[in-house]
Amino acid sequence: MKNYEKYEISYFMPPVESYDWVKKDHIDKAPAWCSVDLRDGNQALIEPMGLDEKVEFFQLLLDVGFKEIEVGFPAASETEYQFLRTIIEQNMIPDDVTIQVLTQAREHIIKKTFEAVKGAPHAVIHLYNSTSVAQREQVFRKSKEEIKQIAVDGAILLDRLAKETDGNFTFQYSPESFPGTEVDYALDVCNAVLDVWKPTPEKKAIINLPTTVENAMPHVFASQVEFMSKNLNYRENVILCLHPHNDRGCGVSDAELGILAGADRIEGTLFGNGERTGNVDIITVAMNMFSHGVDPKLDFSNINDICEVYERLTRMKVYERSPYAGALVFTAFSGSHQDAIAKGMTWREEGKSDKWTVPYLPIDPKDVGRRYDSDVIRINSQSGKGGVNYVLKQNFGITIPEKMKEEVGYLVKDVSDKAHKELSPDSIYRIFEDHYITYHPIFTIDECHFKQEDGILAEATIHNGEDEHVINGVGNGRLDAVSNAVKHYFGVSYELSFYEEHSLTRGSSSKAVAYVGIVCNKQRYWGVGVDADIVKASIAALTVAVNKMEEIKNADACKDARLIEITNYIHANYKTVTLDDLSEQFFLSKPYLSKYIKEKSGMTFGDILKNVRMKKARAMLKSSSMTVENIAESVGYQNVEHFNRLFKKTYNMTPVQFRNRK
């Protein structure tokens, strides 16, 4: 990159090595927090907050638990001044809260500031002037002594006006642009100010070290802070405060290392709002402590509401990846992360650890008011079976058996991949439902009766296309008996290899879910049934599994070339095709054609046609707003009642119910 030569290091190391802070490995106690949202945050907004907005933001800060709040720069504007008068005169400042106001070290501005804070129960008057080499030379064109004198004169005036003004005042001084100031000189200025105020245990003063423009690595700042902390006069009566900005993206590190180096207090803002890249984000610093088991003494347990108020009042956006608060910060899309989170959650549910140890989640999202079901695992083409199954479990109470998980995972992921979009929990459930619960293109079993005879005898009513039959089977259990009846009816053989059931843990908890897996030619087919009656649920699951097997068998049968031609013709002319047309088209007699289709495909011409029409109707119901009557007609049924009946038989719901599904 060009032009780097024009830059040079502009910070100063302290005159003696100050690295004791390195020996500490964590922060064991929350600092005093001071929010500067209403001042530094507000002064950096494109459109600063109006009076009512400042009042609402002030309330938000109180709700979060701030006990010290810099409420503005009262000499800046009428709004700033009026806001201060409003919260003082309307007694809006709780007894345990101290407000703070900022002033330049200029006489008329200090005077206006004292007018504004008259009658405040307790206020910090925050005085600043710039001390850096660049500002001394370019902005003030003054010597070190003259700059120090500005600070000292300001301090003297604060002292005098505080004595003359009704109220209870604490003093704060900031050597503004501290990062570009020689550290021993900054110390000299701060000590000169402290010599004016002579802080005592009863009347402490605050020295605030800002990284006005952050210009060094955080360990440099920490060393500067440690030097100041060790050498300030009246140290035991001085509250050492930091005011990090974020120009190098290290505001949080400045605050954290600065606390290790001796700071007692931190000024910052919610979400790091503030000049340029912003002030330090207090939420991150506080929640970092929280994640180490230290009470931060601020409450972010409802982060969504805080984001909403913040965005509305500041007209800024909380970045999706903003720590602890962004929309995506607890979300895993990728398969291996999802798998580990789902397993970690199960580990926790099983009570294996009373501490939070879930992989990939630095804190429990619930601690900031986020939800497991919608925030943690979201599904797209990067996802895997762990995530898909977690969503079905969290949102719908469906606990898929281990052996079935992979198939479901790939099925859902594939839909997302092809559609190039994220899938909502509802659409994941719909895919699952369509493939495993309501899938019976070939037959349904609508009724079943059992008798205890040499084992269990099942008598089931089966609808196969337009035909209805009563079929019988004997088995050593009810499901086994129905399965044997089905095998006999279709002349097929398969192994009923898997059965599992559980009660639904979400929604209608009186329902049971049954999973059935059958194996034929080394291929496994799955079905799922949901019903208040567990036997009905298991038969429904078996029905889906056999439907799948039969359909695939039919597809194989379709490999016969002439049958492919015939089915293609049916697909192309599904609205009007009849057996007469086919007979003419393929030069075959109608009886031969009927027999041929049945033998090769296992289905009658009527079944094939009905299946094609039902699939077309389903697609239209999903994607168009045509009436059911029009759809019935356009797939070839003049009688809508007949169409409704066929649709219900095929998909277990009416076209209207299908369309209205969420």
Ligand X SMILES: CC(C)C(=O)C(=O)O
Ligand Y SMILES: CC(=O)SCCNC(=O)CCNC(=O)[C@H](O)C(C)(C)COP(=O)(O)OP(=O)(O)OC[C@H]1O[C@@H](n2cnc3c(N)ncnc32)[C@H](O)[C@@H]1OP(=O)(O)O
Binding-site residue set for Mg(2+): 40, 243, 245, 279
Binding residues: 40, 243, 245, 279
| Residue 105 interacts with which of ligand Y, ligand X, none, CB < 5 to 8 Å by class | ligand Y
> 74 to 133, contacts with ligand X by CB under 6 A?
102, 128
> Which is closer to ligand X, CB of 70 or CB of 375?
70
> Which is closer to ligand X, CB of 77 or CB of 523?
77
> 176 to 205, contacts with ligand X by CB under 6 A?
176
**Residues 460 and 445: beta-carbon distance below 8 Å:** yes
Amino acid present at 137: E
d(CA 84, CA 305): 25
Q: DSSP state, 493? A: -
Q: Which stretch binds ligand Y (CB under 6 A): 104-112, 180-188, 378-386, 460-468?
A: 104-112
Confirm or reject binding of residue 210 to ligand X (CB under 6 A).
Answer: yes
Number of H helices, E strands in the chain: 24, 14
Binding residue (CB under 6 A) for ligand Y from 20, 32, 45, 106:
106
| Residue 174 interacts with which of ligand X, ligand Y, none, CB < 5 to 8 Å by class | ligand X
Confirm or reject binding of residue 75 to ligand Y (CB under 6 A).
Answer: yes
What are φ and ψ of residue 583, in 5° steps? Answer: -60, -45
CA nearest to 220, candidates 260, 257, 267: 257
What are φ and ψ of residue 357, in 5° steps? Answer: -130, 15
Binding residue (CB under 6 A) for ligand Y from 33, 128, 390, 494:
128
> Which is closer to ligand Y, CB of 142 or CB of 348?
142
Q: Which stretch binds ligand X (CB under 6 A): 208-216, 253-261, 469-477, 627-635?
A: 208-216
Kind of pairing between the strands at 456-464 and 443-452: antiparallel
> Which is closer to ligand Y, CB of 23 or CB of 108?
108
Rounded to a whole number of angstroms, the minimum distance from the CB of residue 245 to ligand X is 6
Rounded to a whole number of angstroms, the minimum distance from the CB of residue 31 to ligand Y is 21
d(CA 398, CA 373): 13
Specify the long-range contacts of residues 105-112, CB closer than 8 Å, at least 24 apart. Answer: 105/129, 105/150, 105/151, 105/153, 105/154, 106/154, 107/157, 108/75, 109/75, 110/154, 110/157, 110/158, 110/161, 111/161, 112/74, 112/75, 112/81
Rounded to a whole number of angstroms, the minimum distance from the CB of residue 435 to ligand Y is 60
d(CA 110, CA 97): 22
Binding mask 42-71 toward ligand Y (x if CB under 6 A, else -) reads -x----------------------------
* 29 CB neighbour count, 10 Å cutoff: 11
Rounded to a whole number of angstroms, the minimum distance from the CB of residue 223 to ligand Y is 22
Amino acid present at 641: E
Binding mask 548-587 toward ligand Y (x if CB under 6 A, else -) reads ----------------------------------------
d(CA 68, CA 267): 9
> Which is closer to ligand X, CB of 57 or CB of 128?
128
Rounded to a whole number of angstroms, the minimum distance from the CB of residue 254 to ligand X is 12
Q: Which stretch binds ligand Y (CB under 6 A): 60-68, 101-109, 330-338, 453-461?
A: 101-109
How many C-alpha atoms does 593 have within 13 Å on its Cβ side?
A: 18
CA nearest to 297, candidates 622, 92, 65: 65
Binding mask 31-50 toward ligand X (x if CB under 6 A, else -) reads ---------x----------
Binding residue (CB under 6 A) for ligand Y from 13, 30, 32, 109:
109
Binding residue (CB under 6 A) for ligand Y from 69, 150, 306, 631:
150
**Residues 491 and 383: beta-carbon distance below 8 Å:** no
d(CA 213, CA 181): 11
Q: Which DSSP string do the residues of 439-466 spell out, in sequence order?
A: --SSEEEEEEEEEESSSEEEEEEEEETT
Where on the chain is the footprint of ligand X (CB under 6 A)? Answer: 40, 102, 128, 174, 176, 208, 210, 212, 243, 245
Where on the chain is the footprint of ligand Y (CB under 6 A)? Answer: 40, 43, 73, 75-76, 104-106, 109, 128-129, 139-140, 150, 176, 212, 275
